[in-house]
Amino acid sequence: DIQMTQSPSSLSTSVGDRVTITCRASQSISGYLNWYQQTPGKPPKLLIYGTSSFRSGVPSRFSGSGSGTDFTLTISSLQPEDVGTYYCQQTYSSPPTFGQGTKLQIK
Amino acid sequence: QVQLVQSGAEVRKPGASVKVSCKASGYTFTSYYIHWVRQAPGQGLEWMGKISPSGGSTSHAQNFQDRVTMTRDTSTRTVFMELYSLRSDDTAVYFCARADSGLGAFDFWGQGTMVTVSS
């Protein structure tokens, strides 16, 4: 199975700050990398798929980049509603696997 | 609009089984795989398996190989996940999710079903 490792595990930052979350795969996943946001009591919500493609309705402050084994989710200017836990996921090979999550809080 | 609506919370004793349903609407049911993902309290996301609503073929995570059955009923557009021989560490929220047909991202999710295993 492909292992996905996210960093940091948690992050506390201020409104307006630029936030970067990284995700590393244990082998190349050829761009099949997705990002989800989850708030307490809700299912995960797809934000970005295929490394950098936006889901309809996702604010433009979110962006994704990367290739091979190293990927990044960036929030250009953090807003209060961005609080939650973010997960990366590879769908390059079965089983699809998730990172352990990054909990994002506002200072 | 696409919706996945799951059955309600369940409480079971250790050793019992539980069957969770996921009813799809708003799209062509047979065109998209449905996956099951669970999340233990305070923990991350764990993939359990998937089913093709078209032909009914399934694939399961090794952790659940002998304890899970996934089925579908095309007449009611419903997918089912049954987990057997429940243990306390099966206590979790169970989600169904639709996988998009391109890159396989999980684009729509059910609301989740809490399953509590307790004696």
Mark yes or no for CB contact B106/A34 under 8 Å.
Answer: yes
Q: Among residues B5, B13, B6, which one has the least CA distance to residue B90?
A: B13
**How far apart are the C-alpha atoms of A4 and A27, rounded to whole Å?**
9
Tokens 């994002």 found at: A104
**How far apart are the C-alpha atoms of B1 and A97, rounded to whole Å?**
27
pLDDT of residue B51: 97
> By the 8 A CB rule, do B20 and B80 touch?
yes
pLDDT of residue B101: 82
Output the six-digit token pair for B56. Answer: 């009914």
Q: What is the dihedral of CA A105, B4, B7, B8, to 10 degrees?
A: 30
**How far apart are the C-alpha atoms of A41 and A88, rounded to whole Å?**
19
B4: alpha, beta or left? (left if phi > 0; alpha if psi -120 to 50): beta
Nearest CA in chain A to B38: A43
Nearest CA in chain B to A42: B111
Give chain A's mean pLDDT.
Answer: 97
Query: How do beta strands A45-49 and A97-98 pair?
Result: unpaired
Residues of B in contact with A45 (CB under 8 A): 109
CA distances from B43 to A28, B14, B54 (A): 26, 21, 32
In this complex, the residue of A49, A94, A101 whose CB is nearest that of residue B105 is A49
Give chain B's mean pLDDT.
Answer: 96
Mark yes or no for CB contact B47/A46 under 8 Å.
Answer: no
Mean pLDDT across A13-40: 97
Mark yes or no for CB contact B44/A46 under 8 Å.
Answer: no
Give percent above pLDDT 90 in chain A.
97
**Residues of chain A with a CB closer than 8 angstroms to some CB in chain B:** 32, 34, 36, 43-46, 49-50, 55, 87, 89, 91, 94-101
DSSP helix/strand/coil, B39: strand
- pLDDT per position as a tens digit, B57-110: 999 999 997 999 999 999 999 999 999 999 999 999 999 999 988 889 999 999
pLDDT of residue B102: 84
Query: How do beta strands B106-109 and B92-99 pair?
Result: antiparallel
Classify burial at B54, counting beta carbons within 10 Å of its beta carbon; exposed 0-12, middle 13-18, buried 19 or more.
middle
In this complex, the residue of B45, B107, B111 whose CB is nearest that of residue A46 is B107
Q: Which residue has the higher pLDDT, A54 or B35?
A: B35
Residues linked to residue B78 through DSSP beta bridges, in sequence order: B23, B73
Mark yes or no for CB contact B102/A96 under 8 Å.
Answer: no
